[in-house]
A and B are shown apart, each in its own frame.
Chain A
Amino acid sequence: MQSTRDAIAGRLFTLPVLVVSLVLVAYPILYGIGLSFFDTNLVNRWDFIGLENYARLATDGSFLNSILVTFGFAFLVVAGNLVVGTCLALLLDRGLRYTTVFRVVLVLPWLFPEVVVALIWKWMYNPVYGLFNADLLAAGIIDEPVAWLDDPNLALFAVALAAIWKGYPLVMVLVLAGLQTIPRELYEAASLDRAGRLGKFRHVTLPGLRPVLLAVVVLETAWWFKHFTIVWLLTSGGPAGATSVVSIDIYERAFKNFQWGDAAAAAVVVLVICLALSAIYQKVLHRDDS
């Protein structure tokens, strides 16, 4: 009797979350998957065409290009965030004076809306009036102004740099929290074994950070793989598709060309890639545990 009442009460307390999850997440996702099998204008034409949308995407050069670009972008940003975030966390963990001041300053970009980050960097990258060219010209590093966002060879790196500026603080904060969980005794034991600073880092700090770093890599990859805003506002996917990440490709298919079925199919492909990536990471994580 008590347990039935318990179960009912538990269900009532979780009901709002359950309803939102079903109506606003599960149902739309199923709807999106269903849409990918149709040729439709979302109003009155609903032709079931099976896997035709997928078949078309498989031979669509611009879609395949966008998948490649997205892998490149996600790799650059996740690697950059990981290196910068971890290094800064290690520096902040040394217990230096004024650490709090540095921490507040270094966490700032995390607070910035992506739109504002895009705006600041677009202004700094401006080929004629931008801070970047002015400083690099003055320092003699470049001889003539560079069009950072209009050069197909540079644009992806330029966009990734802005994304790293926005993204590293989260990694820094998470790694900093991870460093606190490493027992001090381990360092003391390492000292007794006459481990040097480098030895302690390799044999105590890095293994201690492993779980945090792996979790961060999984979340960050899923996050940046589907990123839209900063890239869209800096380059809109240009020049010549050099920064056309898959979110931009889907957005344009849907809301510029009104190819809803194609766009839905492309979104399903992204979902599958994200799930596959996280499954691979899970495997790596499990192998690590054993």
Chain B
Amino acid sequence: MTRNAIRPADAVAYGLLVLSSLVVLVPVGWMLSTALKGSDELFSQTVRWLPQNPSLDAFVRVFTDYPFGAYFANSILIVTVSTVIAIAFAALAGYGVTRFHFRGRGSLMTFLLLTQMFPSIMLLIPYFKLFQSVGLIDTRTALIIAYVSFQLPLCSWMMVGYFRSVPTELDAAAAVDGCSRLRTFFQIILPLTLPGVAATAIYAFISGWNEYLFALVLTSSEDKKTVPVGIGQLIGQYRIQWNDLMAASLYALVPLTLIFIFLQRRIISGMTAGAVK
């Protein structure tokens, strides 16, 4: 083994890792501490990590004093629908690209990769104008369409990779058994790529959930806004209620954390299942 532990070097490594972890955890802890503070304690010049009168009021006010209920409903709806559509399209394309020979196959994949180089700001004005002219401005549909188009290129590339790892002998065997192409896709190949689908879904969901600029431009009424826009507009206010904002932010982290924990376990179990076979 090449990495025979040299004690002092390991000690330095631990030190650096602990220090870095603190750089991550201190802001997160400060956020939590702020959310638990009352408004009077918020603006005190002495740093107090443990609130004197910790209360969960901010976590209630988020929904009673602000329309965060609507923001969350919008975010969940928009991002879930766009993720499902993007994954479905990407999976179909992944199967098509890895199973069939046709002209333009390579150019399609190259174009999808190239779109990653395009600055999204380039799409902002055209989207605004195009959605306006078809009457979709300030609707959730507009955001769903926009997010599908953002998620699709990378999702397609990821799905092509996962489909490539499933041997084509399985397709041939299914064809011998008289299984149609569509049925082969749905019942035989797609189930084998589920760990990949999960990983791709994580990526797509997180990128949609976190998106700010297009939601800012394409929606205007309170009942259409998403969580990032809702939080963002409160940051700009003159007297910022930091405790309420931190509580709202902590709520915004919940879906991401849940998905991450849940899907990570599935991915790992999917991978080990494949290894045993």
Chain A contact residues, CB within 8 Å of chain B? 3, 6-14, 16-18, 20-21, 24-29, 31-32, 35, 42, 84, 87-88, 91-92, 94-96, 102, 105-106, 108-109, 111-116, 118-124, 128-129, 131, 134-135, 138, 165, 184, 187-188, 191, 197, 200, 219, 222, 225-226, 228-229, 233, 236, 246-247, 250-251, 254-255, 260, 263-264, 267-268, 270-271, 274-275, 278
Q: Is the CB of B44 within 8 A of A129?
A: yes
User: What's the nearest-Cβ distance from chain A to residue B155, in Å?
Assistant: 9
Q: Give every chain B residue within 8 A of A120 (Cβ-Cβ).
A: 27-28, 30-31, 246, 249
Residue picked from A111, A124, A188, most chain B C-beta under 10 Å? A111
Interface string of B57-96 (1 = CB under 8 A from A): 0000000000000000000000000000000111011011
- Are B100's CB and A9's CB within 8 A? yes
Our pick among A18, A28, A246 for the contact of B130 (Cβ within 8 Å) is A28
A-B contact pairs, 29 of them (CB 8 A): A6-B102, A9-B181, A13-B96, A13-B99, A14-B105, A14-B108, A17-B90, A21-B108, A21-B153, A25-B115, A28-B126, A29-B126, A31-B126, A42-B132, A87-B16, A94-B13, A102-B21, A105-B25, A106-B21, A108-B24, A113-B253, A119-B246, A120-B249, A131-B47, A219-B116, A228-B121, A229-B232, A255-B128, A274-B118
CA distance in complex: A236, B235 (Å): 11
Known: A102-B21, A111-B253, A113-B228. A32 touches B125 (CB 8 A): yes
Task: From known contacts A11-B96, A129-B45, infer whether A115 and B210 are also in contact, taking CB-CB under 8 Å.
Answer: yes
Cα A290 to Cα B206 in complex, Å, equals 38
Pick from B46, B97, B100, B153: contact of A6, CB under 8 Å: B100
Q: How far is the CA of A13 from the CA of B122 in the complex (A)?
A: 29
User: Judging by beta carbons under 8 Å apart, are A17 and B156 in contact?
Assistant: yes
Q: How far is the CB of B248 from chain A (nearest CB, A)?
A: 9
Among A18, A27, A134, A271, point to the contact of B47 (Cβ < 8 A). A134
Contact (Cβ within 8 A) B120 A226: yes
Give Cα A251 to B112, complex, Å: 25
Per-residue CB contact flags for chain B residues 153-164 toward chain A (1 = under 8 Å, else 0) read 100100000000
Q: CB-CB < 8 A to A35: which residues of B?
A: 125-126, 129
Contacts of A25 in B (CB 8 A): 115, 118, 123, 149, 153
CA separation between A118 and B249, bound complex, in Å? 11
B117 touches A222 (CB 8 A): yes
The docked-state distance in angstroms from the alpha carbon of A35 to that of B128 is 13
Name the residue in A20, A27, A188, A267 with the highest tally of chain B Cβ atoms < 10 Å from its Cβ.
A20
Q: Is there contact, CB below 8 Å, between A17 and B125? A: no
Contact check, B101 vs A10: say whether CB atoms are below 8 A apart.
yes
Instruction: Decide if B93 touches A222 in the complex (CB within 8 Å).
Output: no
Q: Which residues of B contact A13 (CB under 8 A)?
A: 92-93, 95-97, 99-100, 185
Within 8 A of A (CB), among B1-20: 2-3, 9-10, 13-14, 16-17, 20
